[in-house]
Every structure is written in C-alpha cells, then in structure tokens.
Amino acid sequence: MNENKNMSLPENAHRELKPGEEYKPLLGPGRKPLEVTPYSVTMGLLMTILFSAAAAYLGLKVGQVFEAAIPIAIIAVGVTGLLGKKDGLAQNVIIQSIGACSGVVVAGAIFTLPAIYILGLEVNFWQMFLSSLLGGALGILFLIPFRKYFVKEMHGKYPFPEATATTQVLVSGESGGSSARTLVIAGLVGGLYDFVVATFGTWAETLSSTVMHWGQVVADKAKLVLKLNTGAAVLGLGYIIGLKYAFIICCGSFLVWLIIIPLMNLIWGGQVIDLMGTGIATTVGQMAPEQIFKEYARHIGIGGIATAGIIGIIKSAGVIKSAVGLAVGEFRRKPGTETASVERTQEDLPMKTVIFGIAIALLAIFAFFGFGGVVNNIWQALVALLIVSVIAFLFTTVAANAIAIVGTNPVSGMTIMTLIITALVLVAVGLKGNAGMVAAMVIGGVVCTALSTAGGLITDFKIGYWIGTTPRKQEAWKFVGVAVAAATVGGVMMVLDKTYGFTGDGALVAPQANAMAAVIQPMMNGGSAPWLLYGIGAVIAILLTVFKVPALAFCLGMFIPIDLNLPLLVGGAIAWFVGSRSKVAEVNRQRSEKGTLIASGFIAGGALMGVVSAILKFAGVDWFLSGWNTPLASGAAPAELIAVVPFLCICGYMIYASMKKSTK
C-alpha cells in the first residue's frame, strides 16, 4: 500500500483537455491490475442482493429511494483494506460496478410494477423478473456504443457529480494520506449533519419563504414561493456540478416557480382543470404552489426534457452513425484483417457481440410480451416491442446526459411519457381496460429499467475511465448484476405485497407507483394526456436550443423541485469562489481539488447516513422532535426558523476547509 500513498487523479481529470493533450488514468493501459477475481465478483453480487432488497424494501415502505453506488464503494474500500487485498483499487471498481446494479434496477421496478397491485390487478414473479432483466440488459447494450463519446470525447465538458464522488471515495480509500483524511472528515461532518436533520429534525430539512408571515401571504395569494434544501449532500452535489450548470438548472426552476405557476393562478385561478381525467375537483387558486407544480407545471418540464433529448439525439447523429458504422464494419471485416489492438482501458465488448445481444434481447422481449401473458396476440406484441425499442434507444442517451450533468436521472418523467404513449397506442390496437393497464405497466417497467440502467452505467464507465479499469469487464459483469438484482427485487415485491399490501391501512407508500397508476388508469378508460403542457415544454426546449442555452439542463430544472435546485446554485457559487480568489492559478486549482474532495465527502456521508436514517424509520425508531416542528402562532416552526444558521455554517466549513493552507 505504501506506493499508493497520496494517490490522486491527474490534474486534468476534471477539465477539458488542451489540443494534443491526453488524459492518463491512474492504472495505465500498460498495467494489468487484478479486476475480476472470485473476491470482487462475490462481493459485488453480495452487495447487489443486499442493496436490492434494502432499496426495494425502504423505497416502497418509506418512499425513499437511495443511491447505492457510494455506500457500496465505501463498504468495498473498508472490506478490501481490512482483508489487506493487493491491487484493491481495480477490484473495488468491479465490486461497485456490479453492486450498483441494485439501485438502478430497483428504481426501474418500484416506479412501475407495484402500480399493478395498486390498481387491483395481478402480476406474477416471472413478469416482474423478466421486465427488470430485459429492460436492464437493453439499457446496457444500447449505451455501450456511446461509452467513448460520453467519457472520452466529452471529457471535462460534463461534471459527472456522482461519478466524481464515488471515484474520490475509491481513490482516497486506496491511497490513504491527506486526501483520505480530508474525505473522511468531510464525510463525517456531512453525514452527521444530514443524519441529525433526517432523524431528529433538529432543524428543518427544507427552508421556505413561507417561514415569514409575508412569505405565506404571497404563497397563498400569488402562488409564489422559494424553497431550499439545507442538506449537506445536495450542497456537495452543487459544488461538483459547478456554477455554470447549476445556474442554468436554477433558471429552469425560476421560470416554473416564479413565472409559470403564478401566471397559471392569475389566468386560471377560479377554474378546475383536469387535463388527464384523474378526477381533480380543486380550482387552481385553491391549490398550494407545490400542488400546482405537481399537477401541471412539472409536465412542462417533462415535455421539455423529451424534446431536449430528441434535439440532442439529432445533434449526436454523427456519433450514432459512427457507432452503426463500426458495427457494420465489424460484420464485413474478413478474418485476419483486424486492425491494431485497442488499449486495455478503451476495450469494449466486441460490436458484433453488442449487436447480437440487442437482437437476442429484442427477440426475448417479443416472446415475453407475446407468450408471457402481457398482451393478447402477436400483433400487439409487435407493437409493444416497437414502443420499447424506439423509446429505450432514443432516451438511453438522454438518461446518460442527465446523469453526466446533474447526477439525477429524470427516469420518472420519461416513464410517465412512455406510459402515456403506450396507453394511446395499445388502446388504438384494441388493448384497454384492466388487461391494457397491466400491459402498459409491464412495458413501462422494461423502458424505465432500461433508462435507469443506462444512466447508472455511464457513471460506472466514467469511474473506470478515470481510474483505468477495463470497460469490457465492467460491461460483461453488469449483465450478471442486473440478473441478480432483478430476481431479488421481484421476490421482495411479492413478499411485501403479501405482508403489507399496496392499498388500504398500513399499506406501503410506493409514491412513484401511485403516481404512475393515477396516470395510466384514466388513459386506459378514455382519458387524455396534458399535451398542451408538453407542447409548451417542447417550445421552450426549441427556443433554448436556438439561443444556444443547454436545453436539457434547463428543462431538468423545470422538472426537479426547486428546493433541490437552489442548493445546487449555492454549491456552484462556492466552487466558483474557492477556485477564483487567488491570483495564482496553481493555488486556485489546488483549492478547487480540495473542495471537490470535501463535496464528495458530503455526498458520501449523506448517502450512507441516509440509508441508516431510513432503516431507523422503517424499524419504527421515532427520535423525531415533532413538537419542535409544530408551527407557532406566526405560522413558522422553530426548526425552520433556525435552519438557515446550520446551513450557513456548513457552507462556511466548505469554504474554509477548501481554502485552508496545508501545513505540509
């Protein structure tokens, strides 16, 4: 371990490369590190089972879906170090890569499949298992041809916040020294900070303008409100994203929360608007700003994300053409005419394997739909296959783009869009009512898992690119991880349904699945979709593109609640401040890198303690200071009144620790 002391990523790991400059990973192409070993595979699969069960259990029970990548990386580093494993870094990447299948498959499954139970219908284990397995496999296969584009050609242009935090955990854990110390201290500070908020409610998790009497009046009358999440993990995410993207994302939020929602109240305040036939009986003026966002304004963001994704696909036509050309070239190449060997760190699964894999996956999906009780006949199975293949192919790159920019996959928005399109098409081909709802949810589950898996995979690819592992090995073992996660999630959901159920008293919360059920039921019974809102979002995305504003980042801001976007702006502003105060460029660079370590610690600590807090909630351990959160006569709760103080303290700590001169 001594030669690894103070190991850190190269100086050009997070910035754009100069002409002729090359990024050299920690484990260079000439090295042959231990990656896939009995230890790393066993640990990876164990993490997949444990975190798949935990994420599904907690996500459905408490409505909290946590990202598994960072906690798995922390556990991998700890166990590998405890066992004294040599070449631990590359093995830990494989452990994290396999284990991370848990979170992405869980997200794809619990967003859609429990909705079948909620609607009072039936689904069996094999339908749940195959929906997750085939969707996950399709997401992997569709994204592999774009790996080099996202992680190499776009190097330094995307912040990759989650990949950055996970890589810092892996590298610092391997090297020890000052970097590991900085990361551990920040992880403890950020983790304890978020744990105190989530578990005890010592101060409010969200600070709102309604804390003041005038703010509540403005929210009631004008439907204008500002909210800020005070968590350390979200603040760290903003630091890594940087000021540019954080500002663009927040501009999307400002458009929705400060202009569109108040305008809707001004224009339609006295009207009941039920665009989707879900039975809304409340006028717009009677709704809180948050409800207006949920019922109406958020759909503008969905339309914008979809359109921005299509525009991005059109712009990336050259990349798609190149990937297809590579595949065709491999098929036409005669034996013995292979080109020079590819460097180990850029070696993907052979394109022939990828193409055959896609063909097999699509055939399996067709067989699943046609003979697995999902649809009624072969014609409907072909239509369902077309929906899955087109939407999954088009939007896997959108999911990857979103993860690369903000670390958040808009998979729920894309799934709502998929369900609406699926419902319209299935009704047109004669499949509606209860059978149509089951079919739409299973099809939506396949697409949702494909998008979720693709988003998670691009994070793994970037981690491997920075460290220098072999992409081909990550890709191959991802399929095994997805299969294990799919089986685990399917089994857990069946047990939870029999134990708790998804409807009635004491039922599981399953908020995402409830939302999907609310969308699909009216669609299958003659309802409509909010096409006007989607159209507004589409127009906004097109205008942003015309004026050369990154449309996807802006539209993500329109879709994600403002309380999660404002702290990104604060974190981005801190990153700019830390990296620009000195007149010496090298000092600014060192401060920025240290700040990235601290931000990564905040994210890692917050993710780990979030899991602990969720487990405590599930176990019925109630340490929450509910009285402290009871509103006073003025309407504000004490916990919210003081929330600004610890938030400013955590911001001050980040700035001070980043700029503090080393004693070395």
CA distances from 493 to 103, 111, 152, 400, 638 (A): 15, 12, 39, 27, 39
Question: Does the reported pTM lie above 0.75?
Answer: yes
The domain limits of the chain are 35-157+279-335+351-553, 160-241+561-608+624-664
- 296 in Cβ contact with 275 (< 8 Å): yes
661 DSSP assignment: P
3-state secondary structure 197-250: HHHHCCCCCEEEHHHCHHHHHHHHHHCCCCEEECCHHHHHHHHHHCHHHHHHHH
What's residue 326's pLDDT? 63
- 411 in Cβ contact with 136 (< 8 Å): no
- 306 in Cβ contact with 399 (< 8 Å): no
What's residue 518's pLDDT? 72
Residue 306 in tokens: 């979809």
Residue 478 in tokens: 């991802």
Residue linked to tokens 């958020």: 298
Question: Packing angle between helix 411-428 and helix 298-315, nearest 10 degrees?
Answer: 90
Grouping H, G, I as helix, E, B as strand and the rest as coil, residue 339 is coil
Residue 309 in tokens: 């994704």
Terminal-residue alpha carbon distance, the chain: 21
Q: How many CA atoms lie within 13 A of 222 on its CB side?
A: 13
Q: Is 272 exposed, middle or buried (0-12, 13-18, 19+ CB in 10 A)?
A: exposed
Q: Is 371 exposed, middle or buried (0-12, 13-18, 19+ CB in 10 A)?
A: exposed
- Alpha-carbon span 562 to 207, nearest angstrom: 11
What's residue 110's pLDDT? 80
- 265 in Cβ contact with 285 (< 8 Å): yes
Residue 649 in tokens: 């303290």
What's residue 250's pLDDT? 93
Total length of the chain = 664
Residue 589 in tokens: 């660079």
Say how far residue 71 (Cα) sits from the centre of its chain: 15
627 DSSP assignment: G
Q: How many CA atoms lie within 13 A of 455 on its CB side?
A: 31
Write out the H or E segment, with its range, that includes residue 590: helix 585-618
Q: Is 330 exposed, middle or buried (0-12, 13-18, 19+ CB in 10 A)?
A: middle
- 458 in Cβ contact with 409 (< 8 Å): no
- Alpha-carbon span 572 to 592, nearest angstrom: 11
- Alpha-carbon span 71 to 51, nearest angstrom: 9
- Alpha-carbon span 608 to 144, nearest angstrom: 29
What's residue 178's pLDDT? 66
Contact partners, residue 121, CB within 8 Å, separation at least 6: 434, 437, 438
Grouping H, G, I as helix, E, B as strand and the rest as coil, residue 85 is coil
Q: Which of 240, 237, 245 is nearest to 551 (CA)?
A: 245
Mean pLDDT per segment of 10 residues, for the chain of length 664 residues? Answer: 60 85 87 89 91 76 64 84 83 92 84 80 85 92 88 86 86 71 86 85 85 87 92 87 90 95 91 76 90 88 83 75 66 56 85 90 92 83 90 83 74 76 83 81 88 88 92 93 92 80 69 73 73 91 92 86 90 93 85 85 78 70 62 63 90 93 56
What's residue 2's pLDDT? 43
- Alpha-carbon span 248 to 293, nearest angstrom: 19
Grouping H, G, I as helix, E, B as strand and the rest as coil, residue 319 is helix
CA distances from 418 to 225, 255, 440, 502, 653 (A): 31, 25, 9, 23, 43
CA distances from 90 to 103, 165, 298 (A): 21, 16, 41
- 522 in Cβ contact with 277 (< 8 Å): yes
Region class of 526: left (phi > 0), else alpha (psi between -120 and 50), else beta = left
CA angle 391, 146, 346 (to 5 degrees): 155
- Alpha-carbon span 526 to 314, nearest angstrom: 33
Residue 545 in tokens: 């593109």
DSSP 6-74: T----TTSSSPPPTT-----SS-TT-----S-HHHHHHHHHHHHHHHHHHHHHHHHTS-----HHHHHH
